């Protein structure tokens, strides 16, 4: 057993969960994990179908993007993942998908409003959508600049990535993260479902407003914080 076998195993299972939860088709999407003690990340290889993935194909890189273990090219989104790990030291896994409703909202360039309690169970605020990337950044180090785009949007809008563990990159698609790979996948599934619900809500009633703050706070804080009482 190699020194990265556990990291590879977790990364493989997380990436297979993208397919299991219908968050992407063909080769779309990727999950990464970081081992901050060993200063390496594990990530899906680029362009490999999920049904062909195994532990041997998972790529291990150092935090500068150099391949430590693996014979395949890492995900084309690797630099985005590395930048987020560098800037946000409390996150340990990142998931990027092209799930239908989340991409739809990304392409609309609109935040996803808190329309109901399902959303409020996870966030007290709208799911943020970044502005489209400037041409100079697209033509530059595009994948790195996608990470810059996300971090800058959070800083500009006073968002805490430990509280808001998901976002939409304008004209691109969703990213989510968490303390481990289960969190990042869970947040991706929730993001897609909330985007679907919001789309249906707007379709039924285009003039619908955000729910009351009192209801948002009730649902969020009964699950989160020192006075939470949801679950066992």
Q: How far is CA 62 from the centre of its chain?
A: 21
Q: From CA 72, how far away is CA 60, in angstroms rounded? A: 10
**Which residue numbers are catalytic?**
121, 230
3-state SS, one letter per residue, for 132-172 = CCCHHHHCCCHHHHHHHHHHHHHHHCCCCCCCCCEEEECCC
DSSP string over 28-45:
--EEEEEETTTTEEEEPB
Greater confidence (2 vs 124) lies with 124
Predicted model pTM: 0.96
- For 34-61, the pLDDT digits (tens) are 999 999 999 999 999 999 999 999 999 9
Q: Burial, 177: exposed, middle or buried (Cβ in 10 Å; 0-12, 13-18, 19+)? A: buried
Per-chain mean pLDDT for the chain: 97
Quick check: 1 pLDDT over 70? no
* β-pair partners for 93: 33, 178
pLDDT of residue 225: 85
The tokens describing 162, both together, are 């430990």
Residue 119: exposure state from Cβ atoms within 10 A (0-12, 13-18, ≥19): buried
103 pLDDT tier (thresholds 50, 70, 90) = very high
Q: State the Cα–Cα distance between residues 142 and 135, nearest whole angstrom.
A: 10
Tell me how far CA of residue 113 lies from CA of 142, 195, 201, 231, in angstroms.
28, 9, 10, 26
Q: How far apart are CA 57 and CA 176, in angstroms?
A: 23
Give 161-177 pLDDT, tens digit per residue. 999 999 999 999 999 99
């Amino acid at each position: 057993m190699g020194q990265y076998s556990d990291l590879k195993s977790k990364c493989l299972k997380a990436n297979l969960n993208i397919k299991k939860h219908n968050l992407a088709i063909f080769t779309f999407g990727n999950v990464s994990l970081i081992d901050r003690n060993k200063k390496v990340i594990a990530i899906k290889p680029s362009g490999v179908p999920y049904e062909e993935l195994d532990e041997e194909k998972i790529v291990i890189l150092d935090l500068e993007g150099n391949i430590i273990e693996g014979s395949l090219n890492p995900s084309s989104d690797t630099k985005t993942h590395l930048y987020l790990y560098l800037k946000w030291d409390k996150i340990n896994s990142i998931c990027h998908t092209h799930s239908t409703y989340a991409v739809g909202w990304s392409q609309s360039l609109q935040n996803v409003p808190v329309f109901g309690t399902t959303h409020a169970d996870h966030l007290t605020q709208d799911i943020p959508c970044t502005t489209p990337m400037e041409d100079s950044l697209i033509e530059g180090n595009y994948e790195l600049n996608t990470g810059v785009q996300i971090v800058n949007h959070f800083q500009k809008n006073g968002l805490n990535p430990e509280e808001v563990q998901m976002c939409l990159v304008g004209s691109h698609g969703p990213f989510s993260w968490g303390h481990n790979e289960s969190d990042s996948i869970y947040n991706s599934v929730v993001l897609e479902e909330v985007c679907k619900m919001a789309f249906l809500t707007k379709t039924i009633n285009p003039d619908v407003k955000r729910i009351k703050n009192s209801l948002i706070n009730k649902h969020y804080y009964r699950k989160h914080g020192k006075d939470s009482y949801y679950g066992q």
